[in-house]
Structure 1
Amino acid sequence: MTDSGAVLPWLVIREDDNGNRYRVGRYATRTEAEQVADRLGARAHERLYVVERVDRATA
């Protein structure tokens, strides 16, 4: 949850060519997260953007 109380269980993660992973953003729906990942991936070189769901217990 964020401070506003919104649940944002979908993450966009950037993986670079060295295997490092960075959280890019959190989103309410998988569709929204996938759209962001696709848009970012279209202009990235040697970077992969993946979508992952956050487990509420670990969020």
Structure 2
Amino acid sequence: MTAPRTPTWRVMRQDDNGNRYLVARELPKAEAERLAAELEARGHKQLYWTEPEQA
């Protein structure tokens, strides 16, 4: 029997024109949140967020 897969997270970005882009994927939740916070702290107009990846 295979162990259940650990959920992975991705970091997304939306620019000031409303375009959405994948920044990173297959990250543990804590790492995705750290990366999104780091990118957000740079002060650009982009919006960063994390979301779970679909199985």
In structure 2, relative to structure 1, the CA distance for the partners of 1:12 and 1:25 (3 Å cut) is same
Give 5+ residue unaligned stretches, structure 2. Answer: 1-5
Give 5+ residue unaligned stretches, structure 1. Answer: 1-6
Larger radius of gyration: 2
Moved more, 45-54 or 22-31: 22-31
Aligned equivalents of 2:36 and 2:26: distance in 1?
11
Q: Alignment length, in residue pairs?
A: 50
Q: TM-score, normalised by structure 2?
A: 0.78
Secondary structure in structure 2 of the residue aligned to 1:43: coil
- Structure 1 ranges of 4+ moved more than 3 A: none
Contact 1:8 1:26 in 2 (8 A): no
Query: How do residues 28-47 of structure 1 correspond to structure 2 at under 5 angstroms?
Result: 28-47=27-46
Query: How do residues 1-59 of structure 1 correspond to structure 2 at under 5 angstroms?
Result: 9-56=8-55
In structure 2, relative to structure 1, the CA distance for the partners of 1:44 and 1:23 (3 Å cut) is farther
Q: TM-score, normalised by structure 1?
A: 0.73
Root mean square deviation, CA, Å: 1.7
